[in-house]
């Protein structure tokens, strides 16, 4: 009988696990945040420059595309922050049991949703 | 009284030999150093990131004058500079380790690493200059 060997069998033979999905997501959000540092530097420069540059930057951020990007980056930020704390706990030797790893994984997802929702509620509520 | 060679000296010598073998390995070619720096910057980024996120949320409802005044005050200026530097150092190590996993040609790997490093240095320089301009221009 041919048994599945490794994740490249995904998604037909290899069962989806939240642990590996969150691990990949940590990398993807990390890359996204690194790209986001371009906007961060750009924004700081525009505040320092003021005038037309700031107006153009503000217009871009306030546009639908800008807001969508900001929403994505804020979600990525809160996810990478929460899951980063989970990784630091692992580095310190805690939470390696399978049940704990699953539980902390769901906690990270809940924290991401909660922090992102709170942040955007604060922005949009008067 | 002459000091007898202690066990810890012998262990240190052995560790040094082992260390020599693993030096210059890893995606930054510096062995354990980048692993440690990744964790140290991660720890620093927890409070710095939360501070920055909270500040941006507060600034989201204000204008350029408020943002400029905020960045011109000492504590925000310092914390934003530290956030940017820790964040870019963290990103540099992270991106290098991603590149190391997917780029298998020596020349391309070097090119990608140099490109990432250059981008991080330019972004860090621009961010620090912007904050310093506001801070010093008060």
B106: CATH = 1.20.1300.10
Beta strand spans in A4-116 (E): none
pLDDT in tens, A30-80: 999 999 999 999 999 999 999 999 999 999 999 999 999 999 999 999 999
Q: For chain B, give the percent of residues with pLDDT over 70.
A: 84
Is B85 near chain A, with CB under 8 Å? no
Is A121 near chain B, with CB under 8 Å? no
Q: Does residue B125 belong to any structural domain of this protein?
A: yes
pLDDT in tens, B39-66: 999 999 999 999 999 999 999 888 899 9
Q: Do B45 and A84 touch (CB under 8 A)?
A: yes
Q: Does residue B35 belong to any structural domain of this protein?
A: yes
Q: How far is B122 from chain A (nearest CA, A)?
A: 9
For A121, the closest chain B residue by CA position comes to: B57
- In total, how many domains does chain B have? 1
Question: Which residue in the set B42, B91, B134 is minimally distant from A37, CB to CB?
Answer: B91
> Is pLDDT above 60 for B80?
yes
Q: Assign residue A95 a region: left if phi > 0, alpha if psi is -120 to 50, beta otherwise?
A: left
**Full-model pTM:** 0.85
Q: Does residue B90 belong to any structural domain of this protein?
A: yes
Least confident of A58-62, A92-96, A116-120, B26-30: B26-30
Output the DSSP codes for B32-81. Answer: HHHHHHHHHHHHHHHHHHHHHHHHHHHHTTS-HHHHHHHHHSHHHHHHHH
Is A26 near chain B, with CB under 8 Å? no
Instruction: Name, in order, each residue with C-beta under 8 angstroms of B131's C-beta and a sequence gap of 6 or more.
Output: A44, A48, B71, B77, B80, B81, B84
Give the model's confidence band at A14: pLDDT under 50 very low, under 70 low, under 90 confident, else very high.
low
Separate counts of helices (H) and strands (E) for chain A:
4, 0
Q: Does residue B129 belong to any structural domain of this protein?
A: yes
Residue ranges of domains in chain A:
25-124
Q: Does residue B93 belong to any structural domain of this protein?
A: yes
d(CA B81, CA B8): 41
Write down the pLDDT at residue A102: 95
Which residue would you say has higher pLDDT here, B16 or B65?
B65
Q: Do B134 and A47 touch (CB under 8 A)?
A: yes
Is B134 near chain A, with CB under 8 Å? yes
Q: Does residue B20 belong to any structural domain of this protein?
A: no
Q: Do B46 and A84 touch (CB under 8 A)?
A: yes
For residue B75, give the nearest of B93, B92, B59, B52 by alpha carbon: B52
The boundaries of the domain holding residue B95 are 28-136
| Section B12-27 average pLDDT | 68
Answer for the pair B113, B96: CB distance below 8 angstroms, yes or no: yes
d(CA B28, CA A69): 30
* Residue-averaged pLDDT of chain A: 92
pLDDT in tens, B93-108: 999 999 989 998 989 9
ipTM of the complex: 0.89
d(CA A78, CA A69): 14
Give the model's confidence band at B6: pLDDT under 50 very low, under 70 low, under 90 confident, else very high.
low
For residue A108, give the nearest of A15, A19, A27, A36 by alpha carbon: A19
The CATH number of domain A25-124 is 3.30.70.20: no
Q: How far is A1 from chain B (nearest CA, A)?
A: 32
Q: Does residue B48 belong to any structural domain of this protein?
A: yes
């Amino acid at each position: 009988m041919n048994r599945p060997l490794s994740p490249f069998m995904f998604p037909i033979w290899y069962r989806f696990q939240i642990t590996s999905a969150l691990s990949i997501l940590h990398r993807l959000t990390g890359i996204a945040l690194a790209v986001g540092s371009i906007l961060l530097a750009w924004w700081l420069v525009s505040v320092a420059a003021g005038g037309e540059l700031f107006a153009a930057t503000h217009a871009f951020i306030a546009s639908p595309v800008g807001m969508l990007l900001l929403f994505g980056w804020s979600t990525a930020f809160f996810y990478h922050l929460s899951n980063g704390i989970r990784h630091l706990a692992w580095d310190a030797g805690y939470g390696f049991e399978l049940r704990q790893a699953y539980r902390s994984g769901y906690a990270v997802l809940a924290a991401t949703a909660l922090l992102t929702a709170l942040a955007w509620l604060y922005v949009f509520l008067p | 009284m002459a000091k007898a060679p202690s066990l810890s000296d012998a262990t240190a010598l052995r560790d040094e030999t082992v260390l020599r073998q693993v030096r210059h390995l890893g995606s930054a070619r510096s062995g354990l150093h980048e692993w440690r720096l990744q964790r140290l910057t991660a720890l620093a980024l927890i409070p710095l990131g939360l501070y920055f996120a909270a500040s941006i949320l507060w600034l989201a409802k204000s204008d350029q004058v408020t943002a400029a005044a905020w960045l011109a005050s000492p504590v925000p200026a310092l914390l934003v500079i530290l956030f940017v530097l820790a964040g870019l150092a963290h990103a540099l190590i992270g991106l290098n380790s991603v590149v190391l996993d997917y780029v298998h040609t020596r020349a391309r790997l070097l090119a990608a690493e140099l490109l990432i490093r250059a981008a991080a240095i330019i972004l860090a320089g621009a961010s620090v200059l912007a904050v310093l301009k506001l801070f010093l221009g008060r």
